[in-house]
Structure 1
Amino acid sequence: MTEYLKDALRKIASYCAYQERTQQEVRKRLDKWDIYGDDAEELIAELITQGYLSEERFATSFAGGKFRVMGWGKRKITQELKQRGITGYNLNKALANIAPDDYKSRLVELIDKKRGLIRDDNPLVVKQKLARYALSKGYESNLVWEVLGAEEE
């Protein structure tokens, strides 16, 4: 490894140590530094070997954070992770870390909070707005309607 690449490795390792990154983000950063092809792949392989770069770790922390902090559903998390180049095993593992009970109770919590903000007397309009809101957050339609239906009983 040349001195230039060793210096680049130190810089990119620092970039990855700051927060979890995807390989796609690292490649973009290396592109900005005019490091391409085999050199970039060598640096990425070294980051993985040294533990600075792990897409599984990134996906798990991203999914958990977006679920807990932003209240995102699995559909929205999946879409965002796919945009960031995370698919397959890592994506499934990240979603599996969201407990089904927590997932449903978070949806109920979001719907209850939103209900307090809706100013409409027509129950059908309120239900439609709640469903649209929950779907926009990335929750599955069958779960949304199940939760909204259970509230009527």
Structure 2
Amino acid sequence: MQNNQGISVNDAIKKLEYYCSYQDRCYKEVTAKLKSLGMFQTAIDHILDHLVANNFLNEERYAKSFARGKHRFKHWGKRRIEQELKFRDISSYNIKTALKEIEADYLPNFYALAERKWQNTTETSLEKKKRKWVDFLMRKGYESNLIFDLLKDLQ
């Protein structure tokens, strides 16, 4: 069975096994890749079943590694990670499981990032400095109560 680009299902399976093996992927990414290869929906379903059965595709593992990586390297907060996972159609159960992965490092990383940003913000006006600092941490996805509690402590 071949699609309109001449790629057989077996060739697509091999491509997607490699695609999923060097980095965790979600269903949305894999489906988009298969559609870009010109695969029909029945072939896509068959390939997804194969990838799940052989543990190449695992949403829980993807969500956990995504949360760990984005928190550790990009210093994202829970809200931003949750939003990005929802955008990728990850279930709420897997999102909660993924957010538990970062619990131990969450507050120390937040305080370190907030302190570093406060020190590096060169603004003459204290009000402008506070605004920039708060906006930065909000964009990173940290909770407003954490941000404003720390802002009170800094004053």
Kindly tell me: are residues 8 and 112 of structure 1, through their superposed partners in 2, closer, same or farther at Cα, counting changes over 3 Å? Answer: same
The worse-fitting range, judged by mean Cα deviation, of 53-62 and 30-39 is 30-39
Query: Equivalent residues in 2 for 1:139-150 (5 A)?
Result: 139-150=142-153
Partner residue, 1:135: 138
Q: Deviations over 1:15-67 (max 9, x none)?
A: 11121111111111111122121211111011001010011111100111000
**1:129: how far off?**
2.1
Q: Which residue of 2 aligns with 1:11?
A: 15
1:5 CA drift (Å): 1.6
Q: Distance in 2 between matches of 1:36 and 1:23?
A: 16
Deviates more, 1:125-134 or 1:15-24: 125-134
Shift of 1:102: 2.1
Shift of 1:121: 4.2
Offset of residue 71 of structure 1: 0.5
- In structure 2, C-alpha distance between the alignment counterparts of 1:105 and 1:76, rounded to whole Å: 17
Where does residue 30 of structure 2 map in the other structure?
A: 26
Q: Count how many residue pairs are aligned between Structure 1 and Structure 2.
A: 151
> Unmatched 5+ residue regions in structure 2?
none
Alignment partners' CA distance in 1, 2:43 and 2:123: 60
Give the whole-Å Cα distance in 1 for the aligned partners of 2:11 and 2:119.
Answer: 55
Q: Work out the percentage of aligned pairs sharing the same amino acid.
A: 36
Q: In the alignment, which of 95, 102, 106 is matched to residue 103 of structure 1?
A: 106
The two structures have a TM-score, normalised by structure 1, of: 0.90
Question: Match of 1:145, SS?
Answer: helix
Distance 2:11 2:125 in 1: 64
Structure 1: runs of 5 or more not aligned? none
Separation (CA, whole Å) in 2 of partners of 1:129 and 1:148 = 12
Tell whether 2:90 aligns with 1:83.
no
Matched, 1:56 2:60: yes
Quote how far apart the aligned CAs of 1:136 are: 1.1
**AA aligned opposite 2:144:** S
Identify which of 105, 109, 115 aligns with 1:112.
115
Amino acid at match of 1:85: D
Where 2:8 maps in the other structure, the secondary structure is helix
RMSD (Å), alpha carbons: 1.9
TM-score by length of 2: 0.89
